[in-house]
Structure 1
């Protein structure tokens, strides 16, 4: 995620789908959510413990979004039972958060706030936490993350960071001051498994937010890292789960119907494909919460309904969901570890390029996508000469690079 604040509305196809698929009646929920200053305390969603912290988070977390609708979204999320909220300096959302807390101070003790910054060295967090507190207009941060670990560090540097004596000392100082309760990092880096293993070994990190998918290969380094963190009591929050044609990108044919036909449990439980995806994520008991950047009433209502009606899926059902979603044409591989680029014989960052396209097309974050693309080296952007069929065959998400990469150049270059 980058620092630009451009506001882009939700994709119309996604909006239409969610409106049609919403399960809960709209009238009462909407009117209640819009009563912005109502003192009522709506029922929170189901919760899970965050590792060994002992704190229970709602299984659904409101992700950060940009634009003038964010304050309303925060209140709508609270009205729909969400009590875990994600923010970051880079998102430009903390000021809106602070305004909400100033206007409704009673909310602060009911919610769990996650925010992030990008220190190069652990000592920088001391000043950064003070800045985040001032912008959020709160006395403490529940969970402070090093944002996008690996984006500004080499893998070796990132591993040293989370294992360093300085990191432990700074974390301890911040906690003792009362400015933060817990500390950790977020990462969608292709080597995040190594960083997570290091965190589990060092015992400093309380929680990690990771790019994740519910059908992760059992023998993959990432799954082993998740296991290591789980056993050591490191809390895990899922982000950037899956994106594809069925989740907002304009598509040919009725992909949503096709997904439902392939996955009978969706019809049986009256779940949309995205609700089914959330149920698959929550079936993994190692995952405490799923962070989703919900942008409108329908998305909030649908996802909150999924949390309230959660029942674990069987392994065969998750496999059916996986096959249906891969067939529908994903644009982001949540298990990317760089194997696509290696198979294609290219130094181009194929996984990052398609992730930025996802930001542009499906998350509505066009300025972020362009900024992140511009930060890549020319070598990392140049996929010419790459064996794209070999890349697709190697990709755990079966991404159609031959279709996606020309779009990257057209949209982001």
Structure 2
């Protein structure tokens, strides 16, 4: 661990200055920034080791929530050098992989394939892994994740699960069978810091995909939990980094020009704002790769270009990116821990409601957004009577709940 601690010195100084992990689901072409064509050789895409798996994965991972023409999108990412792909039962994209592998068997050997399923108990994974293998048309999964740990469980149950004997035995059996090379979970639970700490203590899981805070405070519970996992060599994959009404597929106003004007690094490196945000997240060496749902060829081209031209970002530039991002009006708080609801005096799950709105408006997963919103209890959906200004003041990302919640209710109900 001496090596890990040594490497952590500069990182901790960087985090203390206000680290911006970034690059949301929608990275598109704006103005003349980032028009430099990507390199021609796919093997040039940088890689990082995914914790104790020892596998070096590309720092960019293609998320595959099913959308129009997505078989073409997946193959375009692959042609550009992306070698990590993320799917799940609820994404409805697994059959596309089955078709792809049947047509080009060599692809399966060259990609790191991640899939997920919602399970109540670890022992259920034996059955769900077989189901995922059948739907994917492969005889092994590189990384199998329990999907959204905490969403289907009470918090104490989720914490107990990641360090349980049942999970250890099930994970060991799946690894030995060759059906799943590595085991882990994904989480965007408001108390995910506690779940991550338990996982670090349990020493069972190989990797975690987590909703990642854009500007982690050095002393925050989530930052300390990420540190604990990193020191135990658990691979970390960032997801659901950022989205806003102005940082989406259809930007409003001149916010992007404003970003470039206020963050000189973007012009100096010839980066779009989104490419700059990707560079910022990769500056945190604890994160092996960024999973983002690239949904058109422009997004793919720009994200791949950003990966190939990655350079660490200085703390001062990250602070500028952070400030402009907050001013852009985020629709989702990647650091939600429930403090907004507490400050607003409501039992409504304000963080989850706005997250589901983000799925609908920015991730293109409208059916899943409505499904998850519909699963909330009436109490969790009822924000009437809440002090939304107090909730906004408490939110780390200053979400405008008074604007977002009525929109969520209109679109998701």
Query: 1:161 corresponds to which residue?
Result: 161
Query: 2:35 corresponds to which residue?
Result: 23
Query: 2:283 corresponds to which residue?
Result: 283
Query: 1:150 corresponds to which residue?
Result: 150
Q: Deviations along 1:230-274, whole A, 9 cap, x unmatched?
A: 000000000000001232165542111111112111111111111
Report which stretch shifted further, 242-251 or 360-369: 242-251
Structure 1 residues 294 and 16, CA gap change in structure 2 (3 angstroms): closer
Question: 8 Å contact 1:214–1:284 — kept in the other structure?
Answer: no
User: Hey, what's the Cα distance between the residues in 2 that align with 1:369 and 1:22?
Assistant: 31
Q: Deviations along 1:330-366, whole A, 9 cap, x unmatched?
A: 1111011001001111000000111111111111221
Match of 1:181, SS state, is: strand
Question: 8 Å contact 2:28–2:302 — kept in the other structure?
Answer: no
Query: 2:395 corresponds to which residue?
Result: 395
Question: 8 Å contact 1:246–1:325 — kept in the other structure?
Answer: no
Match of 1:311, SS state, is: coil
Match of 2:42, SS state, is: coil
Query: 1:55 corresponds to which residue?
Result: 55
Query: 2:191 corresponds to which residue?
Result: 191
User: Hey, what's the Cα distance between the residues in 1 that align with 2:74 and 2:333?
Assistant: 28
1:18-167 superposed matches below 5 A: 18=30, 21-25=33-37, 42-167=42-167
Match of 2:384, SS state, is: coil
Q: Give the superposed CA RMSD.
A: 1.7
Question: 8 Å contact 1:88–1:117 — kept in the other structure?
Answer: yes
Normalising by structure 2, report the TM-score: 0.91
Bigger relative contact order, structure 1 or 2 (CA pairs below 8 A, ≥6 apart) = 2
Question: 8 Å contact 1:65–1:293 — kept in the other structure?
Answer: yes
Question: 8 Å contact 1:392–1:399 — kept in the other structure?
Answer: yes
Q: How many pairs does the alignment contain? A: 388
- Structure 2: stretches of 5+ with no match in the other structure: 1-25
Query: 2:338 corresponds to which residue?
Result: 338
User: Hey, what's the Cα distance between the residues in 2 that align with 1:44 and 1:184?
Assistant: 28
Match of 1:411, SS state, is: helix
User: Hey, what's the Cα distance between the residues in 2 that align with 1:18 and 1:65?
Assistant: 24
User: Hey, what's the Cα distance between the residues in 2 that align with 1:230 and 1:100?
Assistant: 34
Query: 1:306 corresponds to which residue?
Result: 306
Query: 2:19 corresponds to which residue?
Result: none
User: Hey, what's the Cα distance between the residues in 2 that align with 1:128 and 1:228?
Assistant: 29
Match of 1:389, SS state, is: helix
User: Hey, what's the Cα distance between the residues in 2 that align with 1:211 and 1:230?
Assistant: 16
Question: 8 Å contact 2:29–2:299 — kept in the other structure?
Answer: no
Match of 2:275, SS state, is: helix
Task: Please state how far the C-alpha of 1:316 moved relative to its aligned partner.
Answer: 1.2
Structure 1 residues 167 and 19, CA gap change in structure 2 (3 angstroms): farther
Normalising by structure 1, report the TM-score: 0.91
User: Hey, what's the Cα distance between the residues in 1 that align with 2:148 and 2:317?
Assistant: 32
Task: Please state how far the C-alpha of 1:129 moved relative to its aligned partner.
Answer: 0.6
Query: 2:182 corresponds to which residue?
Result: 182
User: Hey, what's the Cα distance between the residues in 2 that align with 1:410 and 1:82?
Assistant: 37
User: Hey, what's the Cα distance between the residues in 2 that align with 1:24 and 1:173?
Assistant: 47
Question: 8 Å contact 2:185–2:208 — kept in the other structure?
Answer: yes
Query: 2:315 corresponds to which residue?
Result: 315
Question: 8 Å contact 1:19–1:298 — kept in the other structure?
Answer: no
Q: Deviations along 1:293-331, whole A, 9 cap, x unmatched?
A: 001110000000000000001111111100000001111
User: Hey, what's the Cα distance between the residues in 2 that align with 1:405 and 1:177?
Assistant: 47
Query: 1:328 corresponds to which residue?
Result: 328
Query: 2:253 corresponds to which residue?
Result: 253
Query: 1:7 corresponds to which residue?
Result: none
- Structure 1: stretches of 5+ with no match in the other structure: 1-13, 30-40
User: Hey, what's the Cα distance between the residues in 1 that align with 2:196 and 2:126?
Assistant: 23
Query: 1:222 corresponds to which residue?
Result: 222
